[in-house]
Structure 1
């Protein structure tokens, strides 16, 4: 599993290899320019974060209907993805991007990474997930709450009362039990930083992180590392029973009979994340790129999102898995930070966090 499911490593690697080989092949003798043009017009490169996944049959149906071939390139977590998009904007990595989220999106928009596009028939409820500074440029694809997860079995076995609030994590009984991710590199990490800013205010969040640091919080570089290497609840030998993940993650740790889950989400620690897709400026196939963005909003793809990526589809009409109401509810009152404040202070807050926590 990646953030929410097993990613198509082979397909992504193959896509990256094809992209890497294109300049080499073009330089070889005997290539027919007409063939190169035909390939370029039918191949669309989708740039994603590491956790993108789609069922093979769903993607194959789109490719068959559109006549396009979708190659995938994944440069890293969402923070790394945005950094790479900005650095390569004059020579884009592909045609479409998926996985830029509401914590990092304004950085990419301000850098001119995207060509303005949004599907004409987009549901107004879906479009509402894009604030004014993103409207018409990025298309909301999925939604999820970033929050701390607990290994319930660990707390039962060790006779420790589980924490319930952000403040609890700074208490001595939870020393060295928590792992989070770096907000400079990880979109869940930045979302959690924003949750603490929403909870403690712009004048109080640094003191909170100082307490958390002094209580032994561990910082991982990516969600995969935090959840699958450090979290004891993932079944991979981790040692920390409190890990930053998603409110939907407990739906992945459900028992075989579907009656219980071995983990739970601290719904009082959440920040709501929205992930977007967009057409990359400089694409050689704008029409194909727009078709791919349109596809990501279809019922077929949206219905595939929960099982493949453990996120809520942005389309409110898509039926959710039966066990999500019990094991994967969204938070009633996630912490909020105004999008304009995120855009204005994101880099400043990340720098302050790094100084406070990492040193």
Structure 2
């Protein structure tokens, strides 16, 4: 998705779909404070500070409901993408920048746990128990909030106009028939890019993904700094003047490419190329207001917030009973069998993978 944010949708696509808000266009700290009713004066015990990735977005009414239900004043503090957010938490260990955190994903979860920046907390309700980390220590600290499938997307209109069958698999992306057509953000600077790298590791194994990436490079894959560059600039259906009809995006992207006045997306997600990202919330070790942090983590599992997630941040709620918007129910289909890797394996090999990838792709 990005250089430093988790934006998922080109503005033109969002404008064409009932005025949904662009994910990742942060309201700004000031607007978030206003949305939540303002922080408590002097950092009193009423204030609960939440560090998030830059793509945090939630309706003012939902945030006001949290305050009214709990009596806390909520302050949202954006801190970069999932990687930057985790790094800041590690660097401020012992004197945390917030009370709670939202937005650490499964590609960085083990680092946060191993560095000791989180503390154990069991929420009152946990509708996302099926998405808990596999590691017991991580599961005790991290509460699943939402998930999204990072998948290759194709511009169906472009392929129809060029009388070319679109790709359907990882292998197809390296086929000469699609030479120069694929663009993806780099795993070194983008969390979706890292998810795609992890997907290729899961697909081809520790000893095979390097050869696969070499074949992608030989097939003229374009690598950008972030999702926005890939989708909004280079992708043919991204609203700009791009020339690449294959892009790394999300399984939930197609509904936001429905042209105004029409009912069908112009793009498709290749569900056999997906890697599942799960985002977590946690209470920070040493929090000034641990009770407020716990209340916020509890609230993230509420039906109200879970059902607001798709329209506000374009992610799937972990609550299986949450009602999805009509467009999502029809066109934003999650993968039946997405690629996954244990958080501990990602943590153990992330640096090595990135070094090897850089040797191949850069």
Same fold judged by TM-score > 0.5? yes
Match of 1:43 among 37, 44, 47: 47
- Please tell me whether the aligned partners of residues 152 and 264 of structure 1 are also in contact (alpha carbons under 8 angstroms): yes
User: After superposition, what is the alpha-carbon deviation per residue over 1:106-126, rounded to whole angstroms, capped at 9, x for unaligned?
Assistant: 011101111211303324x52
Tell whether the 8 Å contact from 2:131 to 2:278 is kept in structure 1 after alignment.
no
Whole-angstrom CA distance in 2 between matches of 1:48 and 1:353: 28
Residue 255 of structure 2, aligned match among 232, 251, 255: 251
- Structure 2: gaps of 5 or more residues: 1-5, 10-21, 34-38
Aligned partner (choices 203, 215, 218) of residue 211 of structure 1: 215
User: What secondary structure does 2:244 align onto?
Assistant: coil
Contact 1:77/1:185 (CA < 8 Å) preserved in 2? no
Provide the secondary structure at the position in 2 that maps to 1:41: coil
What is aligned with 2:352? Answer: 348
- Return the TM-score normalized by structure 1: 0.87
Asked if 1:64 corresponds to 2:68, the answer is: yes
- Pick closer, same or farther for the CA change 1:35–1:261 going to 2, 3 Å: closer
Whole-angstrom CA distance in 2 between matches of 1:185 and 1:81: 13
Q: How has the CA–CA distance of structure 1 residues 212 and 6 changed in structure 2, closer, same or farther, with 3 Å as cutoff? A: same
Mapped contact 1:145–1:247 kept (Cα < 8 A): yes
Query: What is the CA deviation profile of residues 42-101 of structure 1, one whole-angstrom value per residue up to 9, with x for unaligned ones?
Result: 222221112221111111211232232222222322222222222222432222111111
1:108-147 equivalences in 2 (<5 Å)? 108-123=112-127, 126=129, 128-133=131-136, 134-147=138-151
Aligned length: 340
SS in 2 for 1:192: helix
Once superposed, what is the RMSD of the aligned Cα atoms? 2.4
Determine if the alignment matches structure 1 residue 317 to structure 2 residue 321.
yes
Does residue 1:11 correspond to 2:11, yes or no?
no
Equivalent pair of 1:44/1:70 in contact (CA under 8 Å): yes
Q: Quick one: distance in 2 between partners of 1:7 and 1:340?
A: 28
Return the alpha-carbon distance in structure 1 between the equivalents of residues 89 and 356 of structure 2. Answer: 24
Who is 2:304 aligned against?
300
Give the C-alpha shift of residue 266 in structure 1.
0.8
Instruction: Identify unmatched segments of 5+ residues in structure 1.
Output: 17-21, 23-33
The answer (yes or no) to whether the contact 2:131–2:318 under 8 Å persists in 1 is no
Is 1:233 aligned with 2:237?
yes
CA 1:284/1:270 → structure 2, altered by over 3 Å: closer, same or farther? same
Deviations 1:319-352 (A, max 9, x none): 1122324311111221232333223222222221
TM-superposed deviation, 1:216: 1.9
When residues 52 and 101 of structure 1 are mapped into structure 2, their CA distance, relative to the original with a 3 A threshold, is same
